[in-house]
């Protein structure tokens, strides 16, 4: 028999609800005040609680907050005579399953409680078929039990004991900056860790950002600026997306690596550079060297010690510990108490290809945590549905939308039109265009000449 608690000081309403639920064979208890309900809540062990927002002693949200703090059982539905958006949001934030307004429609209430009880039964069933989340993780640590990640950790330990430059290779989202930070923490934790994203800073500002500049070095330089190389001191300078580093600045960076010194833009004084350089890329620098888009001498100077981070699809055994780590961290961030992940969800996560790697996994878990209530993790249904449509062996075949009748073009015509579109959108900025198209500058110039695009621009 299902047990329901009704907490409301409206005698007429509670009498109506009591008769209604007894007729449906519920075990019903009625309380007029919040404190009375809290005093009996644990012994009543209700499946459902109908809780009024306005009570004679303490208000409903405060009762709910106390119940959640004491981990009292029962799904809570708030009821009120007032359409108060702020109170509604607060109740949901505190853990209410839903919200009803007076006068109460008994048919709507019946459907709502049926849905809540069904969800509760599903969570209880999942709890019996779930994985308990470990809490033995520290923040910002490298997670992985695969052989490949164990080798990465070994490599970090080896290189951290030396001042050697490091090149970290890996697809987007694999955690290259975390590896760089770990090297720094092992080698010089008291010194600065300075990161610069070479793809995020426009070409004409990157030199100043990296080397700094003197007052009057160029138009707008009204103050001296200290660059990232100088700020890094005896610590670590992390050059993310080094494959996007402008070709004309590569010779200057090479000299810094060779001579361990530099000058600010517009300066004459030489500044020593004791920092370790750690660079990261998701591109094939060797291929860029062959295309003439990256200096060979700089490439060899950077790759004194190479660490390759494998994509997540090559280390499926790391998905469970990564999931545990992120859920544990998101619990702290979101104030949740998720402690179990259904085994079916873990199998779904392990069966996905993860083109966005660890970053994509983290985003999927974050969306799932938003949907999760109580201790059981719930995957976002939209993600599961899309995954089934796109993965091999999915439950459905993707349906192709009907194409409008139009004249079909050759690949050459399509490529030419697309390059034109990108160049116009970027106002002729070759660096931005190359990033969007995913090609090197020499390749872009060759395409422009091949298709005679300068005339059409």
Across the chain, what does the average pLDDT equal? Answer: 84
pLDDT at 67 over 60: yes
Cα 183 to Cα 187: distance, rounded to the nearest angstrom: 6
pLDDT at 415 over 60: yes
Do 302 and 262 lie in one domain? The reply is yes
Provide the pairing of β-strand 98-101 with 75-80.
parallel
Do 154 and 295 lie in one domain? The reply is yes
Provide the pairing of β-strand 340-342 with 130-132.
antiparallel
User: Is residue 382 in some structural domain?
Assistant: yes
Do 248 and 158 lie in one domain? The reply is yes
The reported pLDDT for the residue numbered 112 is 82
Provide the pairing of β-strand 193-197 with 236-240.
parallel
pLDDT grade, residue 110 (50/70/90)? Answer: confident
Q: How far is CA 222 from CA 210, 215, 216, 227, 230, in A?
A: 18, 5, 6, 15, 19
Q: What is the mean pLDDT of residues 54-77?
A: 87
pLDDT at 389 over 50: no
Do 165 and 229 lie in one domain? The reply is yes
Strand partners, 4: 28, 48
Helical pair 319-334 and 343-350, crossing angle rounded to 10 deg: 120
Do 254 and 324 lie in one domain? The reply is no
DSSP conformation class of 376: B
Do 66 and 171 lie in one domain? The reply is no
The reported pLDDT for the residue numbered 317 is 92
Q: Which range, 71-80, 128-137, 252-261, 402-411, has the best average confidence (pLDDT)?
A: 252-261
Q: Write the pLDDT tens digit of every residue in 423-448.
A: 877 777 777 787 777 777 777 877 88
Q: What is the mean pLDDT of residues 4-24?
A: 89
Strand partners, 280: 168
Cα 447 to Cα 395: distance, rounded to the nearest angstrom: 42
Domain count of the fold of the chain: 4
More confident of the two residues 33 and 430: 33
User: Is residue 151 in some structural domain?
Assistant: yes
pLDDT grade, residue 408 (50/70/90)? Answer: low
Q: What is the pTM of this model?
A: 0.60
Interior/surface letters 407-444, b for 16+ CB within 10 angstroms, e for the rest: eeeeeeeeebeebeebbeebeeeebbbbebbebbbebb
The reported pLDDT for the residue numbered 174 is 94
Question: Domain containing 301: what range?
Answer: 147-310
Do 157 and 301 lie in one domain? The reply is yes
Tokens 């981070």 belong to which residue?
A: 309
Cα 253 to Cα 266: distance, rounded to the nearest angstrom: 16
The reported pLDDT for the residue numbered 392 is 44
CA-nearest of 308, 292, 53, 303 to 171 is 308
User: Is residue 250 in some structural domain?
Assistant: yes
Q: What is the mean pLDDT of residues 286-294?
A: 94
How crowded is residue 101: how many other Cβ atoms within 10 Å of its Cβ?
A: 15
The reported pLDDT for the residue numbered 218 is 83
Q: What is the mean pLDDT of residues 19-45?
A: 88
């Amino acid at each position: 028999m299902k047990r329901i608690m009704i907490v409301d000081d409206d005698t007429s309403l509670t009498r109506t609800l009591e008769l209604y639920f007894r007729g449906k064979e519920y075990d019903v208890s009625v309380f007029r005040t919040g404190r009375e309900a809290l005093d009996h809540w644990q012994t009543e062990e209700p499946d459902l609680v109908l809780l009024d927002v306005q009570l004679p002693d303490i208000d409903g949200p405060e009762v709910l907050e106390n119940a959640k703090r004491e981990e009292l059982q029962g799904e809570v539905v708030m009821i009120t005579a007032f359409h108060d958006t702020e109170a509604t949001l607060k109740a949901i934030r505190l853990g209410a399953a839903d919200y009803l307004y007076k006068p109460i429609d008994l048919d709507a209430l019946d459907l709502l409680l049926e849905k809540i009880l069904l969800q509760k039964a599903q969570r209880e069933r999942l709890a019996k078929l779930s994985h308990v989340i470990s809490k033995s993780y520290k923040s910002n640590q490298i997670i992985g039990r695969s052989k490949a990640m164990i080798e990465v950790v070994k490599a970090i330990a080896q290189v951290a004991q030396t001042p050697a430059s490091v090149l970290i290779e890996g697809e987007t989202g694999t955690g290259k900056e975390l590896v760089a930070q770990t090297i720094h923490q092992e080698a010089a934790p008291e010194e600065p860790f300075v990161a610069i994203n070479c793809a995020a800073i426009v070409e004409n500002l990157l030199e100043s950002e990296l080397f700094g500049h003197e007052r009057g070095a160029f138009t707008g330089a009204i103050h001296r600026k200290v660059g990232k190389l100088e700020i890094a001191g005896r610590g670590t300078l992390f050059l993310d997306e080094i494959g996007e580093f402008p070709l004309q600045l590569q010779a200057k960076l090479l000299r810094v690596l060779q001579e361990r010194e530099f000058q600010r833009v517009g300066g004459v004084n030489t500044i020593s550079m004791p920092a370790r350089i750690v660079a990261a890329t998701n591109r094939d620098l060797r291929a860029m060297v062959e295309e003439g888009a990256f200096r060979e001498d700089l490439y060899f100077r950077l790759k004194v010690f190479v660490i390759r981070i494998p994509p997540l699809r090559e280390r499926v055994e790391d998905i469970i510990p990564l999931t545990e780590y992120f859920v544990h961290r998101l619990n702290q961030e979101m104030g949740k108490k998720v402690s179990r992940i259904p085994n079916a969800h873990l199998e779904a996560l392990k069966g996905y290809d993860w083109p966005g790697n660890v970053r994509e996994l983290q985003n999927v878990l974050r969306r799932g945590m938003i949907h999760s209530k109580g201790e059981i993790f719930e995957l976002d249904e939209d993600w599961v549905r899309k995954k089934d449509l796109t993965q091999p062996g999915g439950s459905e075949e993707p349906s192709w939308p009907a194409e409008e009748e139009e004249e079909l073009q050759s690949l050459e015509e399509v490529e030419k039109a697309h390059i034109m579109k990108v160049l116009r959108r970027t106002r002729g900025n070759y660096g931005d265009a190359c990033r969007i198209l995913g090609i090197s500058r020499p390749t872009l110039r060759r395409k422009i000449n091949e298709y005679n695009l300068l005339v059409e621009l």
